[in-house]
Amino acid sequence: MARLEHIAQQRLEKLERIRGQGIDPYPHSYHRSHTTQEAVALYQQIESNPKTINPEFSLAGRTTAIRFMGKIAFFDIRDGSGKIQLHFSHDLLGKNKYELLREIDIGDFIGAKGKLFRTKTGEITLEVNDFTLLAKSIQPLPEKWHGLVDVEKRYRQRYLDLISNADVEPVFRLRSQIILALRRFLNEQGFIEVETPVLQSVAGGALARRFKTHHQALDQELYLRIALELYLKRLIIGGFDKVYEIGRVFRNEGISTRHNPEFTMVEIYQAYADYNDMMKLAEDMVCYIAKEVAGKTEVKFGEEIINLEPPWQRIYLREAIKERCGIDFEDYPDAKSLRMSMEKSGLEVDPHKDRGRLVDELINTFVEPSLIQPTFLVDYPVEMSPLAKRKRDNDRLVERFEAFIGGMEIANAFTELN
């Protein structure tokens, strides 16, 4: 029998013994008075005022460590706020209750009641006078709580990643705070948040392979949206001046740590504005979110310190490409001549790509990785954005920008055609 199967079998046997004592190992609910960290904070206040009565606490969480020392035992439990130590005494609990502790494994959820005290080592601990098994875990935690290291499994089974790696949960909380700050910024700017259809008869707004499904009642082929764009534009037509949507989009393409078939994006539309207005909106929005969430506009990314304070640098796309690889795309008005120039520079070029896609390849290869500080690349060839308005002094270019931070594209916008 494999090791994990053996552990699971042992736990099933414990489960039967627990049930044999008339104990429900999966009760419907449990009343806790505080989270672990609320209890710790309250006890610290009690310590600072000796006249304050030390109340009884009722805490609950997942067991993450177990240490038996004869007639006493120490458990660690963790809830959504943090960790706390529990102290069990044979004398306080009695023989039967104390022996029940032997049936508890790491990964089991328990509730415990008692008063807090501070151990000789200075750790705030709950002196348990009663406890309840809340959920018996049959499968052991991965890596015995030393961390889940398989990257593939971490991304596919996020719940295991959250259990095993303490640095993951703050990322989830940070994302939630970022979205809250994003909404607050846009709402304060007079934008209205809307929800638009996910199932669409025409999946437009981007170049991507679609997910297709069939609507039985309508006997019609429908697609999961690949962008939020089309219905937001219709709302502008309908009379809203400022709208936005934070929503899921679906693209039936490759998978990596930087690309997922479904992901969240925000699209923002504003009447009477051009790409200069949207650049200002974008840099102000990112700066606002950083201040709200991190309390500062300088953030560490790898070995770099990134300054998000506006104004961000604005670089003409033509100059950025020419400076980094020596190719001036304005000298090559068609795909064939541009492809020949790229091949002379040592690039392997797809012969089927048009001029716009070739320029995009130059951006991805030479420009994007170097844009660590917040940067707007502006004024793109018309082949790359045929639905954007032409640049006012050069009809071969359009008023489009892409924003980059940390060598990654974070935004794309242009002055829309009417």
Residue 191, pLDDT > 90, answer yes
Is the CB of residue 73 less than 8 Å from the CB of residue 101?
A: yes
Residue 301, pLDDT > 50, answer yes
- The whole-angstrom separation of Cα 133 and Cα 18 is 9
3-135: CATH class: mainly beta
- The whole-angstrom separation of Cα 207 and Cα 126 is 58
- CATH 2.40.50.140 in the chain, residue ranges: 3-135
**Which pLDDT value is given to residue 141?**
81
**Which pLDDT value is given to residue 5?**
87
One DSSP character per residue, 303-357 reads TEEEE-PSSPEEEEHHHHHHHHHS--GGG--SHHHHHHHHHHTT----TT--HHH
Residue 77, pLDDT > 70, answer yes
Instruction: Average the pLDDT over 79-85 and give the result.
Output: 95
- The whole-angstrom separation of Cα 176 and Cα 168 is 13
**Which pLDDT value is given to residue 418?**
81
259 vs 21, more confident: 21
Instruction: Average the pLDDT over 89-109 and give the result.
Output: 96
**Which pLDDT value is given to residue 145?**
44
**Which pLDDT value is given to residue 1?**
56
231 vs 204, more confident: 231
Residue 261, pLDDT > 50, answer yes
**Which pLDDT value is given to residue 168?**
87
User: If you average pLDDT over every residue of the chain, what do you get?
Assistant: 93
**Which pLDDT value is given to residue 124?**
97
Burial of residue 407 (CB within 10 Å: 0-12, 13-18, 19+) is: middle
pLDDT digits (tens, 9 = 90+) for 332-374: 999 999 999 999 988 899 999 999 999 999 999 999 999 999 9
- CATH 3.30.930.10 in the chain, residue ranges: 166-272, 299-417
Q: Which of 196, 271, 279, 208 is nearest to 240 (CA)?
A: 271
Does CATH place domain 299-417 in 3.30.930.10?
Answer: yes
pLDDT digits (tens, 9 = 90+) for 372-411: 999 999 999 999 988 899 999 999 999 999 999 999 999 9
Does CATH place domain 166-272 in 3.30.930.10?
Answer: yes
Instruction: Average the pLDDT over 245-267 and give the result.
Output: 89
Using alpha carbons, list the distances in angstroms from residue 188 to 185, 270, 271: 5, 14, 17
pLDDT digits (tens, 9 = 90+) for 132-153: 999 999 988 876 445 567 777 7
Q: Of the given ranges (150-164, 201-215, 237-251, 350-364), which has the lowest mean pLDDT?
A: 150-164
DSSP, res 405: E
134 vs 201, more confident: 134
- The whole-angstrom separation of Cα 64 and Cα 176 is 26
**Which pLDDT value is given to residue 146?**
52
Cβ atoms within 10 Å, residue 269: 21
Residue 324, pLDDT > 50, answer yes
- The whole-angstrom separation of Cα 28 and Cα 287 is 45
Q: Of the given ranges (153-162, 239-248, 361-370), which has the lowest mean pLDDT?
A: 153-162
**Which of 71-75, 166-170, 200-204 is the most confident on average?**
71-75
**Which pLDDT value is given to residue 321?**
96
**Which pLDDT value is given to residue 156?**
81
